Structure 1
Amino acid sequence: MCGRISCHMCRPDYRKAASYFDESRGLYVQPDWIDVPNNGLSYSPSTNMAPTDVLPVLISKEHEQTDDELSQRIIKPMMWGMIPPWHKGEYKSHGLTTNNCRIESLMESRLYGKPLRNGQRCVIGCQGFYEWQTTKGKGQPKQPYFIKASQKCEADPVEELDSWEKAVWDETAGWSGPQLLMMAGLFDVWTSPEGEQMFSFTIITMESNSSFSWLHHRIPAVLDSDEMVAKWLDHKQISAVAAVRLLHPVTSLTWHPVSMLVNNSRNKDSNCNKPIDPQKPKPVNKIMDSWLKRGAPPSADAKFPKKPKEN
């Protein structure tokens, strides 16, 4: 599954990183960025994005009803977590968990089947996603990991914002920086009772393969080449059934353990996706440290900080 994402590049850097080779022009192209009202919500870069946050999403320009000349791929900020089209009321109050959709039941799903059949396929590009190890025994704390696409060059780590800011782009050579992790998804447009449209999306998941199952039994449908991205977005030439058959668990991923900071979705610390050593002793509790220095036990009503809640 996928319940937390890191995507903290600014708009210009994101467009460069999401660029693609346009064979008709013989040049690299940055996707056009098209903002939509989305109930006043907008993309705010963060290392710890959760469902109901807004992320940049790639779709085909064929979904745009306009005479404007656009790039073949366009970027639209959308809310993570598909809003059911039949929902009435406040956009977050439908009560369903829709940030992920299972590939096994896509075609039959009341919520996801129609967008799939209508060709509303999208790609979520990001620095990576987080997963909590679920294969340990009960009662043991779940260690969070940051998962990213395997990189051609590890000299500029994905999790370092500077790696994206200093990279260069030009239309003949393309993007020189880190590679985005591309995940297959579906999107839909919901109309509020007031008549305002909101774009929202879900990420497709499947059973993990042997290289990832040690961490979690589900994995997002990762598109590990630009050819795969192009095929997934091409709803005119590739049918829904054929597109779904393209999806498979990939092995081109790397990961590292991260701090429990990411457990709280409100924590937007830039260190959320940085690697840590899980074996390294954690900082001493301040109350306990004070007690040790005084040589006396703390009072019975001393309040120890609670363990962060795992969302």
Structure 2
Amino acid sequence: MDHYSAAFNSINEELNLVKERFSILMSRNEKEAPYQKEEIKELKWLQKIINSFTDTHYKRYHENAFDYLPSPIITAGAPDEFKFFKWGLVPFYYKDKAKAMDLRRSTVNCKSEEMYNDDKPSFRDAAKNGQRCLIPITGFYEWRWLDEKGKVKIPYYVSFKQGTIMSAAGLYSRWKDPTTGEYYYSYTVITTAANSLMEYVHNNGKRMPVFIPKEYEKDWLNRSLSKDDVLALCQPFKADLMKANTISKLITTKEAETNVEDVLKLHEYEKLNTDEVLSEL
């Protein structure tokens, strides 16, 4: 709140709905009405959301885009309050629900230099309509490839030397489910060319998220900002203000709880060569 001066009313309201739904499912007499597979999946999903919040803190130590968990972001449409949106943008014009949900896997990121292009309709309309957002983060994860095909790779945690919250730049959208009439709110992270640090870490793609400096956050949320001014803000963040360290592969472990502080901890690989890393797999 100190950083953004934004209210949490909307988040609290939606979180209460999540808790209510979870409570309803948990109160069922399983002997009389056994849980269906989709209900068990929903229960686990709801539990992940609830576990991300305490009475005073938001604690999600890593974000898996394909969990589609709601995250607090600030939108140009409501710059004074946090909103719950899901990662993986769904454009408004999709009529088929299955196709809309499948699309999310390919709209996690958006290249800044392409977001206004007519051949990128998923992002074009949001960009032209000024549907920009700020995504608060304290760091992010990326993989460094140790072979040409990415079969051998190690994860890095990338953060900021000043140790503060930063705002990743994004676009957002509202899609209406034609079968239920309910709205699905989503976002994508805008990327740019990697700085020197990220060229090393993200050596296969050489990209990085766009970060909006605090002094330009209000400008980014100004829906009347020109295309040229928007693109001018989509620059690589300074490498000398960032740091990166290798971490364990806990973030991709299916058998363990991964929303724990240990995912951030330094894990040293004695020799960063193919044979040594293969032994870690």
Q: Decide: shared fold, TM above 0.5.
A: yes
Question: Given the superposition, is the C-alpha separation of residues 48 and 188 from structure 1 closer, same or farther in structure 2, using an over 3 Å criterion?
Answer: same
Question: Given the superposition, is the C-alpha separation of residues 196 and 255 from structure 1 closer, same or farther in structure 2, using an over 3 Å criterion?
Answer: same
Shift of 1:185: 0.4
Deviates more, 1:72-81 or 1:181-190: 72-81
* Structure-1 residue corresponding to 2:41: none
- Identity fraction in percent: 24
Matches within 5 A, 1:282-297: none
Unaligned runs of 5+ in 2: 19-45, 53-58, 272-278
Q: Please, which of 128, 134, 142 is the counterpart of residue 117 of structure 1?
A: 128
Structure-1 separation of matches of 2:123 and 2:150: 35
Matches within 5 A, 1:1-311: 15-16=1-2, 18-19=3-4, 29-35=5-11, 44=52, 45-51=59-65, 52-60=68-76, 63-64=77-78, 72-85=79-92, 86-90=94-98, 92-94=101-103, 96-108=105-117, 109-134=120-145, 136-138=147-149, 141-151=152-162, 178-193=163-178, 194-216=180-202, 217-223=206-212, 225-236=213-224, 238-251=225-238, 252-264=241-253, 267-279=258-270
Shift of 1:279: 1.8
Asked if structure 1 preserves the Cα contact closer than 8 Å seen for 2:146 and 2:152, the reply is no
Q: Alignment RMSD, CA only?
A: 2.9
Question: Given the superposition, is the C-alpha separation of residues 135 and 122 from structure 1 closer, same or farther in structure 2, using an over 3 Å criterion?
Answer: farther
Letter in 2 for 1:201: Y
User: Over alpha carbons, which structure has the higher Rg?
Assistant: 1
Question: Given the superposition, is the C-alpha separation of residues 253 and 136 from structure 1 closer, same or farther in structure 2, using an over 3 Å criterion?
Answer: farther
Unaligned runs of 5+ in 1: 1-14, 20-28, 65-71, 152-177, 281-305
Runs of 4+ in 1 over 4 A off after TM superposition: 36-43, 135-140
Structure-2 separation of matches of 1:88 and 1:123: 28
Letter in 2 for 1:89: K
Letter in 1 for 2:243: T
Letter in 2 for 1:116: A
Letter in 2 for 1:241: D
Shift of 1:31: 3.9
Structure-2 separation of matches of 1:247 and 1:95: 23
Shift of 1:32: 4.3
Shift of 1:136: 4.8
Structure-2 separation of matches of 1:243 and 1:218: 18
Structure-2 separation of matches of 1:248 and 1:55: 24
Q: Which has the higher contact order (CA 8 A, sep 6+)?
A: 1
Equivalenced residues, count: 223
SS at match of 2:101: coil
